[in-house]
Each structure stands twice: as structure tokens, then as C-alpha cells.
Amino acid sequence: MNRRVVLALLAAAFALGWLPGSVFGQQKSLKEQLVGTWLAVSWEQDVPNSPRFQRYGANPKGGYVFDSTGHFFSVYARPDLPQIASKNPSTPTPEEAKAIVSGAIGLAGTYTVDEASKTITLRVEGSSFPNQIGSDQKRVITSLTADELRFQNPTAITGGVISYVLRRAK
């Protein structure tokens, strides 16, 4: 075999080995990439003329779960929430109740993904903050890798923009 042909074949094989897999296979949709459990890394709210706010602390607990059928749930909580002295979740003191309500949230419902605008729309069906129930909330994906998800809520019900950073659970 001609040495040029052999070199060309070796070069082609080498080059093909270094091309990303998506060149040969179908790249996953945003929705397919979202499916799974995402753990909270940070939750920060920027409100004009106010300092950046971390409602759930510097090390929030919780995150999001997106399933393949279009359902989601999310829980965020401060790691320093008070214990309820009575040990009964129905009878916190007013101080305990205020700390828990201001330091934790849970919501669930359905979601859709707009691939073109990289937007997730959450349809809130249940929430620990009842004002959210029945609302459609937009989340704009700013970055998505296999291990990290970043998105923003540009129209937060409490004002400003909320930025989320999550890592995929392993």
C-alpha cells in the first residue's frame, strides 16, 4: 500500500477519534439534559438598590428534581433553621414559624422547555408560598453542562433577579 494512503488513513482515524461524540450521534435536547436531581450550590437575589441577598444562606440545602414526564419539585432551606421546641410541626412558636417560613420553600408542578430561548417554564401546582400556586414561572438557562446547571428567574415575585447554581447529584 502506498505510504501516503497509509498516512492519510491513519490521520483520518486519529482525527475521527478526537471529534466530539455529538458529531456522530444525536445531541440530547435541553429537556433530556435537565432530567435528574440537581443539588443547590447557591441561590442569590439581586434587587436594584439593595445588596445581593442569600435567603437560604451561603450553603443552601435542597435543589430541583426534573423528571422525564415533565414534572418537577424543588425545595430550598437554610441549613441553620431552628428546631421546633414542641417537636410538633403544627405548633411552632411565632419566632420558630417566622424563621422557618422565611428560610425554606418547597414547590412542585409541571415544566416545559423552550429549546430556542433556553427557557424552562414551571407551572406551580403546590407551594409552601401559596402566592405562587397557579403561576407560570420562567427560568432562563445561562449554562448547562453534564454536572452543573445555572439559571435565572428574571421576574421574581419578590422583585429583582434570582440566580441559581446547582450541581448534578451523583
Q: Which amino acid is at 69?
A: T
Q: How confident is the model at residue 4 (pLDDT cuts 50, 70, 90)?
A: low
Q: CA–CA separation, 72 vs 13, rounded Å? A: 43
Predicted pLDDT at 52: 83
pLDDT digits (tens, 9 = 90+) for 153-165: 998 888 899 999 9
Predicted pLDDT at 19: 44
Q: How confident is the model at residue 17 (pLDDT cuts 50, 70, 90)?
A: very low
pLDDT digits (tens, 9 = 90+) for 98-153: 999 999 999 999 999 999 999 999 999 999 999 999 999 999 999 999 999 999 99
Predicted pLDDT at 41: 97
The domains found in the chain, sorted by start residue, are 28-168 (2.40.128.280)
Nearest CA to 111 out of 142, 82, 136, 84 is that of 136
Could you give the 3-state DSSP secondary structure of residue 1?
coil
